[in-house]
Amino acid sequence: MAKDIQKTELQKALLSARRAFLSAGFFSLFINLLMLVPALYMLQLYDRVLTSRSEDTLYMLTLIVVVLFITMGLLEFVRSRILIRVGNHMDQYLNENLFSSMFKRAINEPGQGSPQPINDMTSLRQFLTGNGLFAFFDAPWLPIYIAILFLFHPYFGAFALIAVVILFSLTLANEYATKTLLAEANTENLQSSNYAASCLKNAEVVAAMGMEQHLRQKWFEKHMSFLSKQSKASDRASVLSNLSKTLRLMFQSLILGLGGYLAIQSEITPGMMIAGSIILGRALAPLDLMIGSWKGFGQARSAYGRLDGLFEAYPVKPKNMALPAPEGRLQAESIMVMPPGAKAPSVKGVSFSLEKGDMVAIIGPSGAGKSSLARALLGVWPLMAGKVRLDGADIHAWDKEDLGKYIGYLPQDIELFNGTVSENIARFGELDPIKVVEAAKLAGVHEMILRLPNGYDTVLLGNAGGLSGGQRQRIGLARALYDGPKLIILDEPNSNLDDQGEKALGEALDHLKQAGITAVLISHRKQILKHVDKVLLMAQGQLRGFGPRDDVLSALQNGQLSLSDQK
């Protein structure tokens, strides 16, 4: 059990498919035995049919060969189907956990929010279902062919061993010559793609300020570095692949020459001469295929390494026991927060407590740690020290899926998702039209939505055009208010609002207060302070004041609270 816990999700997925791999290997045994049919058929034609001139023997042998070929084709079909099912099984086994781990990395490693793991999963699945993997299944049966060649004649067996050693050496040389280059090329291709994606995400800024040429040049440098290394690796692999193919054909011809010599010496029959060449070709084919498909193998190996690293860094945690629905009591106990990628904490030893229905405004200068504190209260960012408790339970002890419906969050940067307006407000869960309209009305955005081309069924393509910043912010507020959450955190909720939006926000805050919903507001605008009961003053990551609104503001105005460093 302990060993199983140490394995990553990807390793568990492969282990769960081990019976399928064993079945594919079992079929490979019979497929490789049936690969001897052409050689044995040729042997019988030369040494039995032609010498006896028996048509009945020819007909019977041909019928048997046809049946065996059909059997081999069916076995190969079944093996292919097994591996396709393995690929699909792995995808289905991993997709939920893969999506979860991708989101965890995006939160903890800013700038790493890339769909590359999905592409890696596709690369791995394609390799598992492609012809390249067959070489690895067929290669272990190579000793069978060599043993048969030894039975024909020791010289045949020795010649085959020499040929196998040479081609196997080329396979190792291919690995040595291309492994590092392919790994570096794959990494740089990923970086190049991510850079291009970030540029496209800010296309309007790029176009407005004429930055395209400079950004294109920087992307081009990254892309050319990737192309250079991939081309160098492909050149090396091409040389070894062509050399392998040439040598394989040459060995097949040379063994005919060797067979001719042995036949002249009456040590083997002419049929053995022809059959020996066919068997040697079959023995060397997996090695030749390995070299030819090494690029795909290298890509699959790199994809496996990245996926395994992702699952190891962000393992799937077991689902926590469900807790009772929270009421909205919130405590911060000497919390310290280090933003992902930062070298110094942005929140230092902050403690405070909110009762159900409290409405508090977090104020302070830019860089005071207000948004970091909000993310810590939501359990999005891990804590260096301290605890955040919701109704007495550690916020990280709650299952996120269960807790999410009780939480409303409006970040500074509003992100809407591809889908309808109603789906965005309903958080893409089960869509309740009554609750959607109720949330929209609370956010003061109902009338605006009705004026859209298709109302609540208007399809949004993320943040691409169509809606102003204020409209997106108000739809984001409706999403935060959906289904009556118990705790709402609004980060700069009025940053893009006009007077009408400010009025709607004020009405929404009054509703939250009447409903007894705990709310935490972050804002630089003083107008919002009239709606709150308490104020929490932050400066340089520290809590400088907390208490009733009028007391804190009065102390700040009178100089009793300072925003500068306290000695």
pLDDT tens digit string along 266-279? 888 888 888 888 88
Tell me the average pLDDT across 521-537: 86
Please check the confidence at residue 67 and state whether its pLDDT lies above 50. yes
The whole-number pLDDT of residue 340 equals 78
Q: Which long-range contacts (CB under 8 A, 24 or more apart) does 446-451 make?
A: 448/474, 449/421, 449/475
Count of alpha carbons within 13 angstroms of residue 167, beta-carbon side: 31
Token pair, residue 439, equals 């949330």
**pLDDT of 154 over the 90 cut:** yes
pLDDT at 496: 77
CA–CA distance, 389 with 394 (Å, rounded to integer): 4
pLDDT of 456 higher than 60:
yes
pLDDT, tens digit, 9 for 90 and up, residues 101-150: 887 787 777 666 677 788 888 888 888 877 778 888 888 888 888 898 99
Q: What is the pLDDT of residues 547-566, one digit of tens each?
A: 998 888 888 888 777 665 54
Packed helices 433-442 and 469-481: angle between N→C axes, nearest 10 degrees: 120
pLDDT for residue 484 is more than 60: yes
Answer whether 405's CB lies under 8 Å from 326's CB. no
What is the structure's pLDDT at 174? 78
Return the pLDDT at 405: 87
Reply yes or no on whether the pLDDT at 567 is more than 50. Answer: no
Confidence of residue 71 (pLDDT cuts 50, 70, 90): very high
Q: What is the rounded average pLDDT for all residues in the chain?
A: 84
Structural domains of the chain, with CATH = 7-171+239-313 (1.20.1560.10), 330-557 (3.40.50.300)
Helical pair 270-292 and 154-201, crossing angle rounded to 10 deg: 20
pLDDT value of position 2: 42
pLDDT in tens, 44-55: 888 888 888 888
Query: Average pLDDT, stretch 39-48?
Result: 85
- Please report, rounded to a whole number, the percentage of residues in the chain having pLDDT higher than 90: 18
CA dihedral 70, 74, 75, 77 (to 10 degrees): 140
CA angle 398, 323, 12 (to 5 degrees): 55
**Model confidence pLDDT, tens digit, residues 378-411:** 888 888 899 999 988 888 888 888 888 899 999 8
Which string of DSSP letters, residue by residue, matches 222-233? Answer: HHHHHHHHHHHH
Q: What is residue 3's predicted lDDT score, i.e. its pLDDT?
A: 44
